[in-house]
Structure 1
Amino acid sequence: MTDNLDRPTGAIPGAVQAAPICHPAAMSRRHRLLRVGLLILGVGGLAGAAALLPMREIGDAVVALGPGAAVAVAVLGGLLLSVLVPRTAVTVACGALLGAATGAIAALAAAIIAATATYYLGRWAGRGALQAKTGGRLARLDGWLNRRGLAAVLLVRFLPLAPFGLVGYAYGTTSVCRKRYLLGTTIAAIPSTVTYAVIGAAVAAPGRMGPLTIAPAVISFILSTAIVIRWRQTSRRVLAPA
């Protein structure tokens, strides 16, 4: 009698109640889409705010900080790069505000800050997205990036394929380790950073520029061009047998 009362209405005697089926893959996909959406909203909101900020007044206030100006510029520049502001504009502004040498150091620090932040945010939002497409083009791309390692990072960073911050977000979704990514990004950023910082300093104070101050920019430009040409030649030789 007790058994009949305790049994739920409509239950069949002796039948085992089926447990609810959970789909981990579907949940993972929904979570990933949610995170990507949140990341897009955050980046878009910050980008819109950055477009409305009085950058000239902010620049003057930052320079007035004195010795801490370089640190403030680096942090602000890293934030701007993370919301997809072009690195050329940020680096030129660093040179104009701080001079060629200090501006180049601050711009390079900003690039490293943005590269680190975008990589980890991309990994948080889309880690495993490429691996989920097993056998597809994205999976093959992820495998190629992982095999080439540092060389692949250098190639992608040297070529103007996409905004600096967007490349960082994309790399976060790959299986490339953070050490190779950050090392390759730093090496690839040095030539263009020096070049554009010198240009910014020359625009702000043309009278202070001379052959010796422009020389680092020329050397960096020649070096980056030589690296890209060398890489293309090596890639052609490797792909020729295939």
Structure 2
Amino acid sequence: MTDNLIDPRGTEIPADPQATDRAAAPTACTPLGWKRRLIRFSLLGAGVGALAGLAAVLPLRDIADTLSAMGPSAVFAVAFLGGMLLSVLVPRTLITMTCGALLGAVTGSAAALAAAVIAAVATYYAGRWAGRGALQARAGSRLARLDGWLNRRGLAAVLLVRFLPLAPFGLVGYAYGTTSVCRKRYLLGTTIAAIPSTVTYAVIGAAVVAPGEMNFLTLAPAAFSFVLSTAIILRWRHTARRAPLPA
């Protein structure tokens, strides 16, 4: 125990001011060790693989009949089931078109968007659990610089990655979970980027069942997505001169 000092006015001064600062400072989140991270990645991979295997043998016709008999509550069931399938890397285009075919263009779009948000949340937090601190494990490494770059770009980075078909929807969510990107920006960017393609593919799915509903407006959301992603890319090319992508 250290003795404190007394100033001329009688005020007590800590002998080691830094000790007070250290005591008051919040404890930083310690990254996982590589062994624990490897175990968690293995468990996550095994779980996703097992669920993907189950999804491949689902009785789709029976499920469709059951959903049709559920009435309005089918929207919630479709959204939840779609979110789980997206989390095990089932292609989002297939899920969205199925939502449109089962529920119609408008309701199917809402269910497919809800499924995308559910999958985004599930995969992000699963990636967080398995790989927290993975990119910052080696200070100064290429991955650590990439993590910092993604974090600085924030919402724009999420929008660009989600707009461009770089990887399956669920896989991108797992990858973002290992970064330090703010979850609010990640979820907001994912939701915004999912809207145009969700509406487009849900309308196409509905048109497959009822061809008379297909019209020229079907491609409008896709065109909007293309224009917006192009604008983001051009903006990044402009700002990359000042803050280039880490090598």
TM over 0.5: yes
Give the aligned residue type for 2:233.
Answer: R
The percent identity for this pair of structures is: 67
Indicate the larger mover: 87-96 or 230-239: 230-239
The Cα shift of 1:26 comes to: 11
Is 1:145 matched with 2:146?
no
Equivalent residue in structure 2 for 1:84, among 74, 83, 89: 89
Q: Could you say which structure has the higher helix fraction?
A: 1
Q: 1:94 aligns with which of 76, 86, 99?
A: 99
Taking the TM superposition and a 5 Å limit, the aligned residue runs for 1:83-232 are 83-207=88-212, 209-211=213-215, 215=217, 217-232=218-233
State the TM-score, normalized to the length of structure 1: 0.85
Distance 1:135 1:27, change over 3 A: closer
Measure, in 2, the Cα distance between the counterparts of 1:64 and 1:133. 54
User: SS at 2:37's partner residue?
Assistant: helix
Following superposition, the deviation at residue 28 of structure 1 comes to 1.8
Aligned-residue offset at 1:54: 1.2
Q: State the Cα deviation string for residues 30-55 of structure 1 (Å, max 9, x = none).
A: 11111110000000000000001111
Unpaired stretches in structure 2, ≥5 consecutive residues: 1-29
Amino acid in structure 2 at the alignment position of 1:125: A
Please give the alpha-carbon distance, in whole angstroms, between the structure 1 residues aligned to 2:234 and 2:33. Answer: 42
Q: Distance in 1 between matches of 2:237 and 2:124?
A: 29
- 2:51 counterpart of 1:50: no
Based on CA coordinates, which of the two structures has the bigger radius of gyration? 1
Provide the residue aligned with 2:46 in structure 1: 41
What is the root-mean-square deviation of aligned Cα atoms in Å?
Answer: 1.6
Segments of 4+ moved more than 2 angstroms: 239-242
- TM-score, normalized by length of structure 2? 0.83
Q: What is the distance in 2 between the residues matched to 1:29 and 1:137?
A: 17
Number of residue equivalences: 214
Closer, same or farther in 2 for the Cα pair 1:32/1:210, shift >3 Å? closer
